[in-house]
Amino acid sequence: MNPQLAEVVEAAPGKLAAVQSLEELDRVEAELLGRRSVLAQLQKAIGSLPPEERPALGRDLQQARATLVELVETRRRALEREIADRVATADRVDVTLDAFRLPLGSRHLIYQTIEEVCEIFVSLGYVVAEGPEAEIAWYNFDALNTPPTHPARAETDTLYIDFGDPATEPLLRTHTSPMQIRWMEAHRPPVAVVVPGKVYRADTIDASHLPVFHQVEGLMVGEDVRFSDLKGTLAHFARSFFGPQTQVRFRPSFFPFTEPSAELDVSCFACRGGEPGCRVCGGEGWLELLGCGMVDPNVFDAVGYDPKSVTGFAFGMGVERLAMVRHSIDDIRLFVDNDLRFLRQFP
Amino acid sequence: MRVSLRWLGDFLELPTTDPGEIARALTGLGLKVESIEHLEARWAAVVTAKVVSAEPHPHADRLRVCRVDMGSEVLEVVCGAWNFEAGATVAFAPPGARLADGTVLEVRRIRGVESNGMICSERELGLSDDHEGILVLPDEIVPGRPLEEVVELPDVVFELEVTANRPDAMSMIGVARELAAYYRIPYRWPEDDYPAIPGAPTTKVEIADPAGCYRFTLREIRNVRVGPSPLWMRRRLQAAGVRPINNVVDVTNYVMIELGHPLHAFDADRLEGDLLVVRRAEDGETLVTLDGVTRRLSAEDVVICDRTGPVSLAGTMGGESTEVGDQTTRVLLEAASWDPPSIMWMSRRHGLRSEASARFERGVDPNLPPRASARAALLIHRLAGGDVLEGLIDEVAVPFAPRRVDLPLSEVERLLGPGFDQGRVVEVLTSLDLEVEGSDPLTVVVPTFRPDLSRPVDLVEEVARLVGYDSFPETLPRGPGGGWNRRQKARRRLVETLAGLGLNQALPLPFVTPEDLQVFDHPADDVIRVTNPLREEESILRPSLLPGLLKSLRRNVARGVSPVGLFEVGRVFIRESSPDDPRIPNQPERLGWALVGSFGPADLAGRSREVDVYTSTGILRVVVHALGGRVALQPDHRPGFHPGRTARVTDPEGQVLGWVGELHPLLVDRYELDGRVAIAELDLDRLLDLPRATTAQPVSALPAGGVRPGFHRSRGAAGFPARRLSGRRRIRPGRGRLRLRRVPGPGHRHPQLGDPPHLEGSRPDPGR
């Protein structure tokens, strides 16, 4: 390479490194590549060279120019970054400040629990139905094989209302089961339905009782629904809701509208079985979860299904209880108190 | 039902003594074990002993010096009790023994005489509170035995939850029968063969109310000596949760626990006349029951009467005037069978749930009275020395015979699945004392102690119960599908949108008070009332969501929690027939909200915008947008709402969805709130049914920011024009292109809280 050119190219990185501003860079660029630069002078001189030397110098010039342009641009990009960083750094703030508080509200824990429960059954092919809260005794009791002498019908248990024909015993439903009847009246088997909603009892308010709470009811009816289907379905539910390691226990019980009837207990998720004094299960190791059973033939008779050709199972669970057990809530009144400090814990 | 494991040993030999294993068996049978209580001796090294002699203390009038034979040796002890003489069998704590309170006995000198231990009272042993004298044990007990052996300790008590359909399981014999069936072992009835003397009760019985009383037996026992029951019986009653009274009453309770049949003992000499009549009470009659309470009777109560009137509340509680007491010598023992619903309603009416009524309301075996009476007679004879007359008065108004139920084997497999052949089914049913005849169908003879078994399906349950619910496989059937419907999904979107905006979903109780109705100008007769409310606060079903929300706001504010923004989705109750069922009220779902204080994004100081009517319209705008519909607003008046800051919300067809705005200042005051309160109440069905645009609109190729078709914002007329809140604003490309011009920034920025009201509603929408 032409020694003059080689000298310029060799000196360029050092010169550029010393440049600290874009203005200075412009000057250095002019010095290296401008009209008065060594490159420009050699370019002008090229015509005066003997023809055989011209191509070599031309190649050297081209190569040196490319190198210098790249060096200058590299330095320019670096300088621009440095300057922008300096400016931006001066713009810094305390990023930990809570200076723009976007609100987030909450969905009620009961509402969330109902959705979660229903969703488990929806994934098993159930339909979600809701029914009226003010009912008549036929749907709440008679059609559910609950005779007129049954204690649940007493005024000490059931809230009655002053609407319509008193002979129909208008009342506030004591469970979500009336919707079983309404659904079966309106649909032919096979049926798979879950019914969430409010239910009412003549209970005095205390830490474990409310006159109004929520249940989720379930019903499956078909030609070949058996006890094992009841067990499998509810065990699946328990494991979906409380976790796959949950143990289930079905034990015989009694409800007027199912036969055989069962209570489903689940292993305590807190102590995983019988730690003395466990705050969730009290050391018993089991938590009562829900009541269930095979639909009583009298219920099928009441809705016009033939009990000889269809069978089914039904279940009902208290939503408040599910939520209390899972979230260690020891006072049911928190659900109706609507204190923001409670509501906001479950967004 | 409290079941002592020691007592259970009277009836069968269980193959295990492990309480956990027995509890699992009981729970698996449907007799859920609520708790297991371990009863332990609270003493150590106390033994049985015979008092050899009891001499006066040489230096103290109130003390005696006794020589006590404790089997291994005879010791001298100073004793202050006088309820025994030489020859008595006692509980003796020698030096080194420990009492219930932890005292360890030493050799002491008492008034100059060396005392080697203590003769113990029941209180000192922790057996009861009795400290009147020392514990005197039956004479047949030999000295030198550890006291625990004599008083059945240690013991285990299972607390069982017995379902309403199982009267038979409210007894030791019933629990024994269940366990015998479970373990396939025999069980035995207790002795009831009493020695009788000739004669029959002179008192006759008349059942004037066969609907209330099925059967009434009466037995007479003479020359009874009333006194305390022996320790073993008192201990067993205590373990069962029954307070010991005296030997006669204790026997009736003991037999009730043992056989499940409540009995009642009258003092025969305190009854007037020689006829007992079972009848319904007359309105206004009174009876003082054993608990000392004067009961005002009604025509539905079933009572037992002597010549003077009611002397016992049937099957529930006896009367005070004919109670067996210390002076009683002649006892009339009643064992009767009552109509379960009559007893249930009676005990509820009088707030009197006794051990007896708990059994009768489930339905006690109507063929048990003679046997229960015989068992009680034997025990009274043994413990109170009575002479039992052999004649038993047995009036049967309604006879009961064992029921016969046909069970096709196919019915078992239809419900329970395969694997139930005849042999297995018969084995299970016979283990429960049911007789089985024939083959398919089986004819099952159900004894009268199982009133719950009347249909094939009831027998199927017995099979399932005895083979164990755990033994069935788990299968997971699928339903025909359906899931959430469109409306439910839209409601979920609504709830999530409101929560996303910063509101909190509330669930107040769905009742209002008369004051709520009054401040909202709601006619007091235009509501649905609870006819049997427990409190006035829960006596009126809400016709609106707003009172509940406002009271929830108030509670938060009163607790210093503010600002508050609450919403609710729930039913209200309208005094008109439901469109779906004329027999029940209309109970539409509504959406309501109420906010007080400030709302929205907050700055460093926590400041956000104070709520007002535009908070409500702003929330409505987002909600409607989220649901993809359109609504219009029109100024309106509405009870409870601010007269100048309220809008009626209508859908494109002009149907009213509800109202949004602010709470009337007067009500702000009434609900003890401050400042402006943003409220709304909307019909959920109409809101969720708003017509939606389902076809996508092309997106303009024109830059969106800063350029809009050239329509000026008009400021709107003074009379508050109808404002349209749009869910989807559309800009049609092409149209207006010739008239493009720049308009100032704020005119097309996204609507924000705090924007002036003319921003959207009054601008002609270029898209339509």
Quote the longest CA-to-CA distance of chain B: 132
Concatenating the DSSP letter of every residue in B291-345 gives: TSPEEEP-TT-EEEEETTEEEEETTTEEBGGG---TT---EEEEEEEE-HHHHHH
Residues forming beta bridges with residue B492, ordered by sequence position: none
Inform me whether the C-beta atom of residue A260 falls under 8 Å from chain B C-beta atoms. yes
- Say if CB A330 and CB A177 are below 8 A apart: no
Among B361, B498, B531, beta carbon nearest to A105: B498
Is the pLDDT at A104 greater than 50, yes or no? Answer: yes
Confidence band, pLDDT 50/70/90 cuts, at residue B432:
very high
Confidence band, pLDDT 50/70/90 cuts, at residue B717:
very low
Task: Using an 8 Å CB-CB cutoff, list chain B residues near A157.
Answer: none
Compute the distance between CA of residue B355 and CA of residue B345 in angstroms, rounded to an integer: 15
B730 or A243, higher pLDDT: A243
Is the pLDDT at B316 greater than 80, yes or no? Answer: yes
CB contact under 8 A, B608 and A160: no
Compute the distance between CA of residue B93 and CA of residue B118 in angstroms, rounded to an integer: 5
Compute the distance between CA of residue B683 and CA of residue B409 in angstroms, rounded to an integer: 55
pLDDT in tens, A38-49: 888 888 888 888
Question: Closest-CA residue in chain B for A173?
Answer: B584
Task: Using an 8 Å CB-CB cutoff, list chain B residues near A294.
Answer: 415, 457
CB contact under 8 A, B555 and A105: no
Handedness of CA B108, B110, B114, B115 (dihedral sign): negative
- Say if CB B12 and CB B188 are below 8 A apart: yes
The residue behind tokens 């379960």 is: B340
Q: Does domain A109-343 have CATH number 3.30.70.2740?
A: no
The residue behind tokens 């019915």 is: B411
Task: Using an 8 Å CB-CB cutoff, list chain A residues near B578.
Answer: 132
CB contact under 8 A, B603 and A100: yes
Q: What is the identity of the amino acid at B505?
A: Q
- Say if CB B605 and CB B633 are below 8 A apart: no
Inform me whether the C-beta atom of residue A259 falls under 8 Å from chain B C-beta atoms. yes
Strand residues in B178-270 grouped as ranges (E)? 196-197, 204-207, 213-222, 264-267
pLDDT in tens, A255-309: 999 999 999 999 888 787 667 778 778 778 888 999 999 999 999 999 999 999 9
CB contact under 8 A, B506 and A126: no
Inform me whether the C-beta atom of residue B158 falls under 8 Å from chain A C-beta atoms. no
CA–CA min distance B608, chain A (Å): 9
Interface probe for B, chosen from A340, A341, A344 (most Cβ of B below 10 Å), is A340
- Is B16 exposed, middle or buried (CB count within 10 Å of its CB: 0-12, 13-18, 19+)? exposed
pLDDT in tens, B573-590: 999 999 999 999 999 999
Compute the distance between CA of residue A103 and CA of residue B608 in angstroms, rounded to an integer: 10
Going from N- to C-terminal start, the domains of chain A cover 3-91, 109-343
- Contact partners, residue B605, CB within 8 Å, separation at least 6: none
Query: What pLDDT is stored for residue A152 in this prediction?
Result: 87
Residues forming beta bridges with residue B53, ordered by sequence position: B67
Return the percentage of chain A with pLDDT > 70, whole number: 99
Strand residues in B58-120 grouped as ranges (E)? 60-69, 74-79, 89-93, 107-110, 113-116, 118-119
CA–CA min distance B194, chain A (Å): 38
Handedness of CA A95, A97, A103, A105 (dihedral sign): positive
ipTM above 0.90, yes or no: no
Task: Using an 8 Å CB-CB cutoff, list chain B residues near A229.
Answer: 475-477
Query: What pLDDT is stored for residue B698 in this prediction?
Result: 86
Interface probe for B, chosen from A107, A124, A342 (most Cβ of B below 10 Å), is A107
Task: Give the mean model confidence (pLDDT) for residues B433-448.
Answer: 94
- How many angstroms separate the first and last alpha carbons of chain A? 74
Query: What pLDDT is stored for residue A274 in this prediction?
Result: 65
Task: Using an 8 Å CB-CB cutoff, list chain A residues near B583.
Answer: 136, 164-165, 168, 170
Query: What pLDDT is stored for residue A149 in this prediction?
Result: 83
Interface probe for A, chosen from B182, B338, B531 (most Cβ of A below 10 Å), is B531
pLDDT in tens, A170-221: 999 999 999 999 999 999 999 999 999 999 999 999 998 999 999 999 999 9
Q: What is the helix, strand, coil percentage profile of chain A, to 5? A: 45, 20, 35
Task: Using an 8 Å CB-CB cutoff, list chain B residues near A335.
Answer: 507
When the pLDDT of each residue in chain B is averaged and rounded to a whole number, the result is 90
Inform me whether the C-beta atom of residue B460 falls under 8 Å from chain A C-beta atoms. yes
Task: Using an 8 Å CB-CB cutoff, list chain B residues near A174.
Answer: none
Inform me whether the C-beta atom of residue B524 falls under 8 Å from chain A C-beta atoms. no
Interface probe for B, chosen from A150, A343, A346 (most Cβ of B below 10 Å), is A343
pLDDT in tens, A131-149: 999 999 999 999 999 988 8
CA angle B102, B106, B111 (to 5 degrees): 120
Query: What pLDDT is stored for residue A3 in this prediction?
Result: 85
Inform me whether the C-beta atom of residue A345 falls under 8 Å from chain B C-beta atoms. no
Interface probe for B, chosen from A251, A264, A300, A332 (most Cβ of B below 10 Å), is A251
Residues forming beta bridges with residue B279, ordered by sequence position: B303
Inform me whether the C-beta atom of residue B472 falls under 8 Å from chain A C-beta atoms. yes
Compute the distance between CA of residue B571 and CA of residue B510 in angstroms, rounded to an integer: 8
CB contact under 8 A, A159 and B344: no
